[in-house]
Structure 1
Amino acid sequence: MLTLLTYKFITHRAWPLCLALCLDIVLGNLWVAFNGGISNPFTSLLLIFIVIAFLLLPPTFALIVVLISILGQVAQIGLPSLLPGQQSHTAHALSDEMLKHAMGMVSGFVIAAAIIALSMYYLKRQWFQSEKALQNARERQLRDEQLLTIGAAAAQLTHDVATPVQSLRLLNEELQECDIELSLKQEFSEHLGKVEASLEQWRDAAEDVRTRRQHNYTIGEIITQLRQLLRIARPDAQVNWQCPERFKTAIISADRTLFPAIANLVINAISAGERSHQLVVSVQLNLTLVDANPQLTIHILDNGDGLSQAQQRKIGKSMTLSENGMGIGAVISHATLERLGGQVSWQSTSEGTLTLVLLPVTAYE
């Protein structure tokens, strides 16, 4: 068969395979025409080409093959009379009974071709969806393994830092009693307090994850917590917060990992704008209905250079090298929000990169 020879030895491209299939169908119909025409019981074997078309070709090319196959069957009614040595059968072939039989054979072929085409299209679509789901599962498993490694390293680091911080606390108490500059004492105590607060927040978040404990936060409380985190992480950046007052009482159920997950996205937006010397980020919170369920939508817009199509597909799903690191913050945020029942996506706009976060709302009056 020309199709198999083309597929195996020449190319896997769609249009040469479609052409080879059409030639196979023409040759098959000529063979049938020389051996009894439409009354040949082996004419149903031509349905095999439709199956092959849907296995090897995109739907558009496969549909062309289906139409060529049907036209070939219709041509079988008058084709034998045009072939040398077949004219003697023409009178019998065009009798009323044989014409009805021929029309029935053609109708049966068309119905069978339609059933096979629809079945193969459905099965192929299900197959591609299963392959895509399996690929996504593999990517999630790899991402989770990477995050587990990072989490273990972070836990070890926190454990190792706890003892030196306690020692620094004792030294700070002694420092406060010494006769040195007051501003130095205050600055040292302030920075030490930030480190201790961060460690305590990490312990609380880890305990929430371990026990699967969730808390109810209003949108107003979420904004307050995020502002505090950003004031510590990026005090030099300007973040414009926008949220209608009537939505600030809506409740989100989540653990404490929600705050660093969203804060990481805002920090990434600040870093993106920093490369364009724009340290202004807009964060807009709103409530929308998604499938009749209220959702908190967070739009984080930076003034950076935007993301390419390849970056938009990979960001948050896998660790990829970038100018500022491995993109670990986006991966952790993506995994955390997904675990909390939310979603996060990125898209380029004329102004920069828009990060869209969706979170389910537990209660809203």
Structure 2
Amino acid sequence: MIFKLLLTFFAADTFGLTLQQVPLNWALVLEAIFLAMTFKLRLPLLKQENALFIALLLDTLFWITWLYFSGGATNAFISMLLLPIALAAVMLPMWAPWVLSGLSVCAYSAMIFAVPDHHMQMHGMDMSSHYQGMWFNFVISALVMTSSVALIAKRVRKQDQELAKIREGQLRQEQLLALGTASAQMAHQLATPMFSMRLLIDELQDEAAQPQELVEEMDGALKRCEDALGELRLATDVIRSGHQQTLPVLELVSSFKQKLDLFMPQTEVDYEMKLADDHLKVQSDTSLLPALLALAENAARASQEHIGQPRVSFSVERNKQSLLIRIRDYGAGIDNELLNQLGHHLVQNPKGLGVSLMLSHASLERIGGRLMLSHHQSGGSVATVTLPLSKDLQ
């Protein structure tokens, strides 16, 4: 805008501009209003592609208007129409610079035809070929920007996205490594007191005066702790070795039912199997079952808080080369702000930091699976686990 004002009011004669002052003044006033609005809304404009395109489109129209009323195709600054095209090529999708290029070329072409005959003759020379050459040069420049520059910008944006994903993955792995180290340390620290508790319970069982029901209940709880500690040690060894195996889907579901009945006997679970083939197998390791149990535990807790009853729906179905496991809760649902963060980052929330979901997501990623959280149409939320089927059964 400042550049146009300087050319219009201070340098018109220097650069041989032919000004139509009255319409030019009105155009500059409108552009000043437009610039004031875009400056106030500059942050939202940069975040929304459509809004930014509209701003560049209007800017192109203002440039066309100024050029038309200051000499048209004879204006030495006709190439300034390339600026919005360049910005669109760098910041917007491929279609945006093509639209602006088409508009600018059409406007330039119209200005060429509108050049008066006396401007085509200068000092006895025919200037029509000169203006045609300028037009052709402008078209070539616009094509280069809408193709080469746009492709380069697209590639750079793609690389930036890939780098962002890599950085996000590294951060998640660092957090998981810290959690894994802490878990291993706690497991090592638990081994000694659990061994002492085992000795005490054995002594209590030998004393007839002690209530046997209480002793049996303590013994059962301790056995579950010992089993969990053993599974943790086994999982650590398997993860360290990177060993994976194929597991029949029916065996996976059966193990899931047994563990759920053992650790969460009060939970009401609705099972739904949609498998036409009972011999399907999935890629698995020792972390798969705990990941599914953690999702079921979260779902039961959400249902308990919302409807006063720990209830979970568990469904299994095949989708081409993958197995889909859906674990639905009957809770109040997940806030949209947290929906895309849970499972990927540690989030600050009154109900926790999302550690179990993050661990489950990492466990599934390691065996080629993925976890996706979504809203259920009847209320609550759904955790959809996608697992790759064994290659020999796809």
Structures share fold, TM-score greater than 0.5: yes
Instruction: In structure 1, give the amino acid aligned to 2:384.
Output: L
**1:232 to partner: Cα distance:** 3.4
Give the distance between the partners of 2:251 and 2:199, measured in 1 at CA.
Answer: 33
Q: Who is 2:22 aligned against? A: none
Question: Is 2:314 aligned against 1:279?
Answer: no
| 1:160-185 CA-partner distances (Å, limit 9, x unpaired) | 00011111112222222111222222
Match of 1:308 in 2: 335
TM-score in terms of structure 1 length: 0.83
Query: Any idea what SS the aligned residue of 1:346 has?
Result: strand
Asked if 1 retains the 8 angstrom alpha-carbon contact of 2:60 and 2:81, the reply is: no
Shift, 1:100, TM fit: 8.5
Provide the residue aligned with 1:170 in structure 2.
199
Judged with a 3 Å threshold, the aligned counterparts in structure 2 of structure 1 residues 68 and 243 are, in CA distance, closer, same or farther, namely: same
1:347 pairs with 374, 386, 389, which one? 374
> Structure 1 CA distance, aligned partners of 2:329 and 2:63?
57
Letter in 2 for 1:66: S
Distance 1:49 1:2 in 2: 16
Query: Any residues of structure 2 matched to 1:17-36 within 5 Å, and which?
Result: 17-28=56-67, 33=72, 35=74
Q: Give distance in 1, aligned partners of 2:104 and 2:82.
A: 8
- Aligned-partner Cα distance in 2 for 1:182–1:348: 47
* Correspondence 1:337 to 2:367: no
Distance 1:341 1:72, change over 3 A: same
Q: CA RMSD in A?
A: 3.2
CA shift for structure 1 position 59: 6.0
Q: How far off its partner does 1:348 sit?
A: 0.8
Aligned partner letter, 1:272 = A
Structure 1 position 268, deviation (Å): 1.3
Q: Distance in 2 between matches of 1:145 and 1:279?
A: 34
Question: Equivalents in 2 of 1:245, 1:61: separation in Å?
Answer: 47
Would you say the 8 A contact 2:60–2:84 is kept in 1? yes
Hey, what's the Cα distance between the residues in 2 that align with 1:56 and 1:103? 31
Structure 1 residues 209, 32: CA separation in 2 closer, same or farther (over 3 Å shift)?
farther
Residue pair 1:22, 1:65 contacting (<8 A) in 2 also: no
Q: TM-score, normalised by structure 2?
A: 0.77
Instruction: Look up the match of 1:137.
Output: 166
Which amino acid counterpart does residue 169 of structure 1 have in structure 2? R
Q: Deviations over 1:238-273 (max 9, x none)?
A: 112222465442122221011111111111111221
* Paired residue secondary structure (2:306): coil
Distance 1:79 1:216 in 2: 75
What SS does the corresponding residue of 2:247 show, helix, strand or coil? strand
Distance 1:228 1:268 in 2: 18
- The Cα shift of 1:18 comes to 3.9
1:178-224 CA-partner distances (Å, limit 9, x unpaired): 11222222212111111110100111111000111122211111112
Q: Does the Cα contact within 8 Å between 1:18 and 1:61 map onto a contact in 2?
A: no
Question: How many residues are aligned here?
Answer: 348
Pair 1:361-2:368 in alignment: no
Name the residue aligned to 2:16.
none
SS in 1 for 2:112: coil
User: Is 2:109 the counterpart of 1:74?
Assistant: yes
| 1:53 counterpart (58, 80, 88) | 88
Give 1:22's aligned amino acid.
L
1:257 to 268, 277, 287: 287
Paired residue for 2:324, among 290, 297, 312? 297
Code of the aligned partner of 1:286: E
Partner of 1:84: none
Query: Which consecutive unaligned segments of at least 5 residues does structure 1 have?
Result: 82-86
8 A contact 2:73–2:131 mirrored in 1 = no
Between 1:204-213 and 1:114-123, the stretch displaced more is 114-123
Local SS of the residue matching 1:78: helix
Give 1:109 shift. Answer: 4.4
1:89 paired with 2:113, answer no
How far 1:306 moved relative to its partner?
1.8
1:312 deviates by: 1.6
The counterpart of 1:268, out of the listed 295, 298, 308, is 298
* Partner in structure 1 of residue 349 of structure 2: 322
Question: Are the equivalent residues in 2 in contact too, given 1:2–1:24 (CA < 8 A)?
Answer: no
1:64 offset after TM fit, Å?
4.7
2:368 corresponds to which letter in structure 1? G
Alignment of 1:194-205 (within 5 A): 194-205=224-235
Displacement after TM superposition at 1:128 (Å): 2.7
Structure 1 distance, partners of 2:194, 2:3, is 72
More relative contact order, 1 or 2 (CA 8 Å, 6+ apart):
1
* In 1: Cα distance, 2:259 partner to 2:193 partner: 23
Q: Are the equivalent residues in 1 in contact too, given 2:73–2:108 (CA < 8 A)?
A: no
Q: Which amino acid aligns with 2:351?
A: N
Match of 2:152 in 1: 123
Matched, 1:236 2:266: yes
Task: Give 1:234 deviation, angstroms.
Answer: 2.0
